[in-house]
A = this chain, B = another copy of it.
Amino acid sequence: MIDRIVIDDLRPRTPSGIFPAKASVGEVVQVSATIFTDGHDRLAAQVKWRGWGAGNGDWLVAPMVDRGNDHWDVSVGFTEIGAYEVVVEAWVDRLETWRHDARLKVAAGQDMETELSEVALLLEDALAGLSGDDRGVDREVVSRALGVLRSSCAERVRLDAALDEDLAAALEGRGPAGEVGGSASMRVWVDRERARFSTWYELFPRSEGGFVGTAERLAGVAAMGFDVVYLPPIHPIGETCRKGRDNTLRAGPGDVGSPWAIGSAMGGHDAIHPDLGTEADFKDLLNEAASLGMEIALDYALQCSPDHPWVTEHPEWFHHRPDGTIKYAENPPKKYQDIYPINFWPAAEEDRRALWDACRSILDHWIGLGVRIFRVDNPHTKPMAFWAWLIPEIQRAYPEVIFLAEAFTRPKVMAKLAEVGFTQSYTYFTWRTAKHELASYVTELASGPTADWLRPNFWPNTPDILADPLRDGSLAAFRLRVLLAATLVPSYGIYSGYELGENQPQSDTNEEYRNSEKYELKRRDWDAADSIAPFIARVNRVRRRHPALQQLRGTMMHHGDNDLVLAYSRFTIDRSDVVLCVVNLDPYGAHHDMITIDLAALGLPEHDAYEAHDEMTGATYVWHGRTNYVRLDPNDQPGHVFHLRVAP
């Protein structure tokens, strides 16, 4: 029923255990477990890992370390994209048990005759079980130790408590010499680096003059330091019940409609809106992005306008009213006559398969053109079972594909979408503004159980959400929120116009934008004198310089008395890179505070000086001790981003 050695609490893992935990290339992952057995025997344990399935190469192995209270861990890294099998093995280390006991007995002056006979047997066993170069054990060293033990009794009795140092060294880090007493395995999905560390910029290509104009705009976006450019749906837009400007019920002549009302006589999810350009233009756009070190992300929005080809070709993929007509979307009493939601569970199983395959084909089409990142619209309104099928299905063929879940929904649903496979997730950051909210939310994301499988992507704004303090906000508010998003977690994004401080809400109670770009074209002056693009560029350069800002887990909140000053550090597991951020949460007033950091936890000297180099201003401060003074004026800078280090 259970192994001789108990191995529990494997991490990383998902709650169900059915879906893999997540890691990424270049990430240091701590694999840990609870390991124990009965009695006083000394245990040894290791992690071994390899690509999933047979024939995927040799096991890589790392010895685990006992951290006390039966908790064992070791840091490992994964080098390839794809599914990994990770196994924790533990065994009774008979030689180490002998050495430990022998040391105590020799110290107590006890007779060692029996103990020496025992270790001779153990060594003979070990020797017999080892091939010449098995995991670093040196046959010669073992043979020599054995020789000593077989020699005269006089020599042996006073042998040191342990085997000689050579032998101890040779035995270090070897795998199980005898029987493995327990093993437990888990699956880890390893993404490419951009799944972990990415910087997103959303723009409507139609406002830039289609794909050709967008390609021209890319250099400016790249100069700000973004590496993913996400486009809302690029497909033909429905005519029936098309929405007018400002989300009015009827479009006027010339109104362009919402890109999310997908499908017209000109095609559906695999077609390009003719106003944007041709497939060739789209490919040129992908190439231009690639040449700038960026990628284009598309929107995967599974819904149809009444004019979508599926409506006539596959009425069985939609919901029907008793009179046989297709149901439009509703959230009673609201009606969305321009959108037909898809019925993911048609009555006939063959219809369900055909529909799900058609949904998959959309992705195949765009992947075939070179797209590798998809932002998924409202995934929580589609079945969890659909995503649990679709994402592994796609990633089996194209493991480099990234899915960002736009699940602004209930916490447990958001977490489950990430568990079943979404690479990244929009979060509640958009509405988290107070110090205690930000501190507890980021601590939960970086240090809670979801860190094993949910990767947050922080958005200060989206085309749907002009959140506080951006509503009617100053440019200082825009600097503040982008600095938080960019330094609290490794992935974040903004919707274009942010750098210009676009701050007009639809109304006092509606958090959408006035004259929303969702329903009309926008012309913007990217070269406006007060654009905060240079500020954003600086923030993104700091992100690229610091590995600490490129991973989720090494995050710690720090104490300060001022409720409008948030202090946190980000650091790599080995503390080779430590960044301390101190942010003034008030865009309208200067604030100061005494910030106390845990020097030992950050690998900094407790009694000597260390440097705090502000990456945003270039200023360097010499600090002593754990508590230091900071003052921030929002007209000057929203926050410090200190690189903490011992002076070279």
Report A's interface with B, CB cutoff 8 A: 1-4, 6, 8-9, 15-16, 18, 34, 36-40, 69-70, 100-101, 104-105, 107-108, 110, 114, 117-118, 120-121, 321-323, 330-333, 341, 344-345, 380-385, 388-389, 410-413, 416, 420
- Cβ-neighbour of A321 out of B114, B322, B416 (below 8 A): B114
Q: Taking A114-B323, A345-B4, A416-B6 as contacts, is the C-beta distance between A38 and B384 under 8 angstroms?
A: yes
- Cβ-neighbour of A15 out of B8, B38, B39 (below 8 A): B8
Q: Taking A2-B385, A385-B4 as contacts, is the C-beta distance between A105 and B332 under 8 angstroms?
A: yes
Is there an interface contact between B410 and A69, defined as CB atoms closer than 8 Å? Answer: yes
Is there an interface contact between A322 and B15, defined as CB atoms closer than 8 Å? Answer: no
- Cβ-neighbour of A36 out of B39, B40, B332, B413 (below 8 A): B413
**Nearest CB in chain B: distance from A159 CB, A:** 16
Is there an interface contact between A322 and B117, defined as CB atoms closer than 8 Å? Answer: yes
Q: Which residues of B contact A321 (CB under 8 A)?
A: 114, 117-118
Is there an interface contact between A117 and B323, defined as CB atoms closer than 8 Å? Answer: yes
Q: Which residues of B contact A101 (CB under 8 A)?
A: 330, 332
State A110–B333 Cα separation when bound (angstroms): 8
State A104–B330 Cα separation when bound (angstroms): 11
- Cβ-neighbour of A6 out of B105, B110, B344, B384 (below 8 A): B384
Q: Which residues of B contact A322 (CB under 8 A)?
A: 114, 117-118, 120-121
Q: Which residues of B contact A40 (CB under 8 A)?
A: 331
Q: Can you name the residue of chain B whose Cβ is closest to the Cβ of A109?
A: B333
Is there an interface contact between A8 and B16, defined as CB atoms closer than 8 Å? Answer: yes
- Cβ-neighbour of A107 out of B18, B333, B380 (below 8 A): B333
Q: Can you name the residue of chain B whose Cβ is closest to the Cβ of A321?
A: B114
Mind listing 14 A-B residue pairs with CB under 8 Å? A1-B18, A2-B388, A4-B345, A6-B384, A8-B15, A8-B412, A8-B416, A34-B412, A36-B413, A37-B383, A37-B384, A38-B384, A107-B333, A120-B322
Is there an interface contact between B333 and A1, defined as CB atoms closer than 8 Å? Answer: no
Assembly of this chain: how many copies?
Answer: 2
**Nearest CB in chain B: distance from A29 CB, A:** 22
Is there an interface contact between A18 and B38, defined as CB atoms closer than 8 Å? Answer: no
Is there an interface contact between B8 and A108, defined as CB atoms closer than 8 Å? Answer: no
Q: Taking A1-B389, A118-B322, A383-B38 as contacts, is the C-beta distance between A333 and B108 under 8 angstroms?
A: yes
State A323–B115 Cα separation when bound (angstroms): 11
Q: Which residues of B contact A383 (CB under 8 A)?
A: 4, 37-38
**Nearest CB in chain B: distance from A10 CB, A:** 11
State A436–B40 Cα separation when bound (angstroms): 32
- Cβ-neighbour of A104 out of B333, B344, B382, B410 (below 8 A): B333
State A38–B383 Cα separation when bound (angstroms): 5
State A31–B380 Cα separation when bound (angstroms): 26
Q: Which residues of B contact A104 (CB under 8 A)?
A: 332-333
- Cβ-neighbour of A1 out of B330, B385, B411 (below 8 A): B385
Q: Which residues of B contact A4 (CB under 8 A)?
A: 345, 383, 385
State A344–B37 Cα separation when bound (angstroms): 12
Q: Can you name the residue of chain B whose Cβ is closest to the Cβ of A386?
A: B38
If A4-B385, A39-B381, A70-B413 are given as contacts, then 5 extra A-B residue pairs at C-beta distance below 8 Å, sorted by A number, are A36-B410, A36-B413, A104-B332, A110-B333, A117-B321
Is there an interface contact between B70 and A38, defined as CB atoms closer than 8 Å? Answer: no
Q: Which residues of B contact A38 (CB under 8 A)?
A: 344, 380-384
Q: Can you name the residue of chain B whose Cβ is closest to the Cβ of A92?
A: B345
Q: Taking A322-B121, A380-B38 as contacts, is the C-beta distance between A388 and B1 under 8 angstroms?
A: yes
Q: Which residues of B contact A3 (CB under 8 A)?
A: 385
Q: Can you name the residue of chain B whose Cβ is closest to the Cβ of A119?
A: B322
Q: Taking A6-B384, A114-B323, A388-B2 as contacts, is the C-beta distance between A69 and B412 under 8 angstroms?
A: yes
**Nearest CB in chain B: distance from A3 CB, A:** 7
Q: Can you name the residue of chain B whose Cβ is closest to the Cβ of A17?
A: B17
Q: Which residues of B contact A382 (CB under 8 A)?
A: 38
**Nearest CB in chain B: distance from A615 CB, A:** 39
- Cβ-neighbour of A412 out of B2, B70, B380 (below 8 A): B70
Q: Which residues of B contact A9 (CB under 8 A)?
A: 15
Q: Taking A1-B389, A107-B333, A322-B114 as contacts, is the C-beta distance between A69 and B121 under 8 angstroms?
A: no
State A446–B141 Cα separation when bound (angstroms): 54
Q: Can you name the residue of chain B whose Cβ is closest to the Cβ of A35?
A: B412
Count chain B CB atoms within 10 A of each CB in A18, A36, A381 and give the residue with the most: A36
Count chain B CB atoms within 10 A of each CB in A107, A108, A121, A384 and give the residue with the most: A384
Q: Can you name the residue of chain B whose Cβ is closest to the Cβ of A330?
A: B101
Q: Which residues of B contact A330 (CB under 8 A)?
A: 101
Q: Which 10 A-B pairs have the closest CB atoms?
A: A108-B333, A117-B322, A104-B332, A101-B332, A70-B412, A1-B388, A104-B333, A2-B385, A38-B383, A34-B412
